[in-house]
Amino acid sequence: MKAARLYGIEDIRVEDIPIPEINEDEVLIKVKASFICGTDVRFYKNGLPGNSDQPLVAGHEIAGVVEKVGARIKGYAVGTRVGVAPNYGCGVCDLCTSGNSHMCLESEALGVSVDGGFAEYMRVPAAAVAQGNISPLEDSISFEEAALAEPLSCVYNAYEKIGIYPGDHVLVIGAGPIGLMHIRVAFLAGAAAVYVTDLSEDRLALAKKLIPEVTVLKNETLDEDIKKYTGGRLMNLVITAASVSVIQESAFKYVGLDGRVMFFGGLPKGKSIVKLDTNEIHYKQLTVAGTTRQSLRQYRLCLKLIASGRLKVSDLVTASAPLDDINSIIANVAAGKGLKSVITI
């Protein structure tokens, strides 16, 4: 089969390798759609994650069809259209049994610590099968939409942790695909107004085109505009959806009394120490939180949300290419071109 394997910094090779063997407790997926994420771009720029020296098939935003099921597998049939959540745990610790397998100390992830979706076929390990990482799809959801349930459920995790309430004024810093998902979730949750800012004028224009009800705030006049639009009360919630340290620092300036701040975008290694006036947190009575990845419950909920038509993601797909073009398409994503780019197989 064809697979894109990461060997090191800016070294992805599309190779012909054997179709993975599965044991009696595993499932083989024929991949149909696999999106490129900021994490994949980080691997491309910084090399293999962890201490591994084995080439890795990256790709963790995946949907496909069940190709083969192990002899002891119940509940999955060949030919079923499925979405595959990437994170799974040991299955027995307190975090796993409380529905937080993505936080398990032994957690693994398809496309990160084991081979993922940038290939024609993907083996789903026994632990992931047993934990329910493979989700059958409703007819109303496409492979691409299903693959986007992965990033959407990361956003949904942030929403559940920090809360968005009817009447809230919400500022999203960063108009990339993740920022746009935060905006849509905020409107769905009943926010009175959602604002977005970004250094890129192109991204702001695209945000306005896709979500006409969002208020676009230009970076140069951000301070005045936020005061003007909120009558001086500032934001109920600020979400940072960009991996820039000054953005995390500025979040405290834009949040009002009794407000909340969600640190969503991670910062590059070595650049994650930011200046923080803790008096702002204390005297403004702020809640500050962060989230990472998603639980399986949140993943499945987002599949349902997309299938129901209540939350649109299909218009975030701005590029589609075959596996052979993965190098050029990752370079485009790294350069901030477009929103979501998918490898179709």
Question: Residues interacting with Zn ion, by CB under 5 A?
Answer: 37, 39, 89-90, 93, 96, 104
Q: Smallest distance from the beta carbon of 34 to Zn ion, in angstroms?
A: 11
- Which CB sits closer to Zn ion, 1 or 93? 93
CA distance 75 to 139: 18
Q: Where are the alpha helices (DSSP H) in the chain?
A: 38-46, 94-97, 126-131, 143-147, 149-162, 177-188, 201-210, 222-230, 245-254, 278-283, 296-307, 326-334
- Which CB sits closer to Zn ion, 145 or 168? 145
Q: Smallest distance from the beta carbon of 253 to Zn ion, in angstroms?
A: 29
CA distance 252 to 272: 16
Q: Smallest distance from the beta carbon of 60 to Zn ion, in angstroms?
A: 6
- Which CB sits closer to Zn ion, 37 or 180? 37
- Which CB sits closer to Zn ion, 107 or 197? 107
Angle between helices 296-307 and 149-162 (to 10 degrees): 110
Q: Smallest distance from the beta carbon of 185 to Zn ion, in angstroms?
A: 16
Q: Smallest distance from the beta carbon of 157 to Zn ion, in angstroms?
A: 12
- Which CB sits closer to Zn ion, 96 or 128? 96
Q: Name the CA radius of gyration of the chain, rounded.
A: 20
What one-character-per-residue DSSP string does 60-83 give?
-EEEEEEEEE-TT--S--TT-EEE
* Neighbouring C-alpha atoms within 13 Å toward the C-beta of 12: 26
Q: Smallest distance from the beta carbon of 91 to Zn ion, in angstroms?
A: 6
Q: Please name every residue paired with 2 in a beta bridge, in sequence order, or none if there are none.
A: 16
Q: Smallest distance from the beta carbon of 270 to Zn ion, in angstroms?
A: 21
- Which CB sits closer to Zn ion, 37 or 186? 37
Q: Is 158 in contact with 262 (CB distance < 8 Å)?
A: yes
Q: Is 6 in contact with 12 (CB distance < 8 Å)?
A: yes
CA distance 227 to 230: 5
Q: Is 267 in contact with 291 (CB distance < 8 Å)?
A: no
- Which CB sits closer to Zn ion, 93 or 188? 93
